[in-house]
Amino acid sequence: EAGVAQSPRYKIIEKRQSVAFWCNPISGHATLYWYQQILGQGPKLLIQFQNNGVVDDSQLPKDRFSAERLKGVDSTLKIQPAKLEDSAVYLCASTLGGRTYNEQFFGPGTRLTVL
Amino acid sequence: KQEVTQIPAALSVPEGENLVLNCSFTDSAIYNLQWFRQDPGKGLTSLLLIQSSQREQTSGRLNASLDKSSGRSTLYIAASQPGDSATYLCAVTGGSSNTGKLIFGQGTTLQVKP
């Protein structure tokens, strides 16, 4: 069974530029999460989708971050414009169906450096 | 608001030692607790998942226990090896208004010396 796929793996941009990340969850997984992990910290949720609907985006900085999950499968996360403090690893995770009891599986992450 | 704390932040042990990593959480109304391993520059690998109704889970040399009432979990690693060197993260789902997202501790970075 293929795991969660993410691209790109690494991205370096200058502040005020835009960047987009892509995630393909495990086949059949209805719930998709984007987490942000700043160096030395545990990951923190940015946004959670159930199929193509948003369940929780309370921690998403909506003035610069946006995300979508068209057709309930792949998802993209965009930052526009980027700030220095956005330097982090962006992790995508998916889980099967029900929101509360199932194991979450993570992709390899995208490491973003903002100069 | 659920908060997860891991102690110690870093640990260095000689190869062959048995060791315990600690995780505590403030809201005992969790659905499950998950332990992850993270290698430098990599994503998270799930090690063990303990449902709220369970007391422990085992996989190979790893054993995780859960005491919901006291808000604690431990990850026991037997006969540690240099290949166990990584950062170990615990995370919980559940608590008031939780929709299934994981709330993570800051991790324990383990170094096993040959």
Pair A12, A113: CB distance under 8 Å? yes
Q: Nearest by CB to A41, from B32, B91, B106: name it.
A: B106
Q: What are phi and psi of B83, to 5 degrees?
A: -70, -10
Query: What percent of chain A is modeled with pLDDT above 90?
Result: 81
- Number of neighbours of residue A85 by Cβ within 10 angstroms: 10
Q: Quick check: B113 contacting A, CB < 8 Å?
A: no
Regions of chain B short of the pLDDT cut 70: 95-97
The closest CB to that of B43, out of A40, A45, A108, belongs to A108
User: Nearest-CA residue of chain A relative to B51?
Assistant: A101
Which pLDDT score is estimated for B18? Answer: 97
pLDDT tens for A95-104 read 986 555 678 8
Task: Give pLDDT, residue A52.
Answer: 85
Sort out which chain A residues have CB atoms less than 8 A from B43's CB and list them.
Answer: 4, 6, 91, 106-109
Q: Across residues A77-83, what is the average pLDDT?
A: 97
State how far the Cα of B94 lies from the Cα of A113, in Å rounded to an integer.
32
Strands A10-13 vs A110-114: parallel, antiparallel or unpaired: parallel
Please write the tens of the pLDDT for every residue from B52-64.
899 999 999 999 9
